[in-house]
Amino acid sequence: MKETEQIEFKKSTSELDSALDSISAILNKHQKGILYFGLKNDGTPSKFTITDSTLRDVSRKIYEHIKPQIFPIVTTASIDGVEIIEVKFEGNDIPYSSKGKYYIRIADEDRELTPSELRKIMIQNEYKENFEDHITSETIDDVDDEILQKFYNNAISYNRLPDIPYEKKNLLEKLDLMKNGFLTNAGRLLFSKNKPLVLKTAIFATDQKVTFIDIQRYEGNIFDLVQKGMKYIIENINWRVEFNGGIQRIEIPEVPVKALREAIINSFAHARYDINVQHEIDIFSNRISITNPGCFANDNTPLDYSTKDLKSFLRNEKIAKILFLCNDVEAFGHGIKKMYSLCKESNVSINYINNETDFTFEFSRVDRNIMPNGVINGTINGTINENEKIVLDIILKDPNITIAEMANQSNKSIRTINRIINSLKEKNLLKRMNSNKDGYWEVLK
């Protein structure tokens, strides 16, 4: 044997105080574990005296100093002819303290929790116990029939739901999304037609939230907004065309669509819905940003999930289960690994930002503010200003755009747009091709 995140060794009961800290740490991380008295760090036996009162003392110390109280199973065992003590323990009422202090297990070591980490665990535990099962005032009449029927058909087709007759109330009750005729919070967020959630989307002219080209606000349930979010991204990212064997046309997105969908599904599956909820998708010149309310749901990082087989922490177990049943979630804990793998194949990097109130995935893209000759806007002769960058960006996206449309998209007057265009022409960066009526703009190399 060796020490792990759920197994701890102590040479003897003289280390009982530190053993209590280990029990607290393991409970707070995994909710169950085993501790051995009589083993060295390398797993070899360390002989010490065990009497009848030794087991009672261990049980009593754990009962007195681990809060909330747990009831461990304390027995003896034999390794290589040496008698040791085995302590099995478990509990789900986290966080657990040892002598008034709180610990967390990191590999085979115990670290005291910081106040912010302890607060995070307490809030998450309270949320997990309370939110999804709370009863709302919405009834079967508030259910979106089309979305529920589509979920049912998908779940049946993927063999993740028994082929039972479709009946709305019976289906929702079996899925534990309706109680006594009323939708739970989970049922409401998934299937209500009363638009319980908000998704804000925006396109920005640069890599900063300064000037936006487009901004939208959508309302709906989880299934609604996943679809609308994906549609918005697909319509506003760049695609290149390749020909398979010179015949078949293949359109390839700059960021894998399946990876973006995984990030959006993750956002809605793991969001904190007891706070001011607003999901957000922002398309910058150099990245796509997907933000969900609530920090990342555990102490691991997304990069950990991309390289290791780790247990998934489900902040919203019922919501995640429904998304799994209809194949929006392929397998718990595997979505992030799939996302990183797809992006690696496409040379797209992923960044993540974890704050106390929200979490963001960022996907890199080739900066659309890079001019055709490879020189970045704003550095050509040191003369390109922010307004000129905005206009060039708009023209690069749509060479047929009119001056009036430019003014509308940039929130500037037609007079200002004309002045900017004249400046770009003088710098030999822009040219009007053909007539004013039937022509188009060409950004010059």
**Least confident span in 60-69, 148-157, 159-168:** 159-168
Which pairs with CB-CB distance under 8 Å and at least 24 residues apart come from 345-353? 345/256, 346/255, 346/256, 348/254, 348/255, 348/256, 348/259, 350/302, 351/287, 352/296, 352/301, 352/302, 352/303
**Token match 């960021």: residue?**
255
Spatial distance between the Cα atoms of 6 and 31, rounded to a whole number of angstroms? 9
* Lookup: tokens for 46: 């360390």
User: What is the arithmetic mean of pLDDT over 49-78?
Assistant: 92
Beta-strand runs (E) in 221-332: 239-244, 248-253, 279-283, 287-293
37, 77 Cβ separation under 8 angstroms: no
CB within 8 Å of 227: residues ≥ 6 apart: none
Closest CA to 351 of 233, 237, 263: 263
pLDDT value of residue 330: 57
End-to-end Cα distance, the chain: 67
* Lookup: tokens for 166: 């479709």
Comparison of pLDDT for 343 and 118, the residue scoring more: 343
E strand or H helix at 84: strand 82-90
CB within 8 Å of 387: residues ≥ 6 apart: 410, 412, 416, 420
User: What is the arithmetic mean of pLDDT over 410-423?
Assistant: 89
pLDDT tens column, 328-347: 765 555 778 889 999 999 99
282, 361 Cβ separation under 8 angstroms: no
pLDDT value of residue 429: 83
pLDDT tens column, 364-380: 998 866 655 444 444 44
Give the global pTM.
Answer: 0.61
